[in-house]
């Protein structure tokens, strides 16, 4: 009996980040989103997205209802570092472990992220996780086609993006 927590979209240019929790025994999947506003140039340096990931993770575990003897396994990604610590504080050091998430959990969380970016009108590249560089440029080109409407969906707080004209303050 386990609850697995993972993220999707952290390194992508578009949208926020999906934090998902999956309980395999009941085949229950829940997720919430760290809004893209946490990744804008005015807010990203404050690193509040780490606290938001923790808030969401705690809420998802509460909604799933951690059962006696059930463990929480948290993805090793940096965005979930604070979440893992807060989960340990709440549920005990022995009940929380960091793992490499794969399989159904990863597929569900990645699928939720893809659904969210499709809701923006963006169609992701096939095999985008194997082609991160090409995926970045695919997303960038999509934004560039209508920057006045689409730049609001970009994680524009990443420092290396300031060299691109569409991410410079207007």
pLDDT score of 38: 97
pLDDT score of 72: 98
CA 13 to chain centre: 12
| Helix or strand (DSSP H, E) at 88 | helix 81-91
What domains lie within the chain, and their CATH numbers?
2-167 (3.30.420)
Write out pLDDT tens, residues 80-92: 999 999 999 999 9
Cut 0.85: pTM above it: yes
- Closest by CA position to 7, among listed 92, 136, 120, 100: 100
Write out pLDDT tens, residues 13-44: 999 999 999 999 999 999 999 999 999 988 99
Round to whole Å and give the CA distance between 93 and 25.
Answer: 22
Round to whole Å and give the CA distance between 55 and 32.
Answer: 10
pLDDT score of 58: 98
Partners of residue 34 on adjacent β-strands: 17
- Closest by CA position to 155, among listed 133, 130, 136, 129: 136
């Amino acid at each position: 009996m386990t609850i697995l927590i993972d993220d999707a979209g952290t390194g992508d240019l578009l949208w926020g980040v999906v934090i998902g929790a999956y309980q395999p025994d009941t085949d229950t999947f829940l997720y919430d989103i760290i809004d893209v506003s946490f990744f804008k140039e005015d807010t990203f340096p404050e690193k509040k997205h780490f606290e938001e990931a923790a808030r969401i993770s705690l809420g998802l575990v509460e909604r799933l209802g951690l059962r006696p003897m059930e463990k929480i396994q948290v993805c090793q990604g940096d965005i979930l570092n604070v979440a893992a610590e807060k989960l340990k504080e709440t549920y005990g050091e022995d009940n929380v472990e960091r793992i490499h998430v794969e399989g159904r959990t990863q597929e569900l969380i990645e699928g939720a992220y893809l659904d969210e970016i499709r809701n923006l009108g963006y169609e992701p590249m096939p095999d985008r996780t194997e082609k991160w560089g090409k995926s970045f440029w695919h997303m960038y080109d999509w934004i560039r086609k209508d920057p006045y409407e689409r730049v609001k969906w970009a994680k524009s707080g990443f420092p290396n993006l300031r060299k691109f004209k569409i991410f410079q303050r207007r």
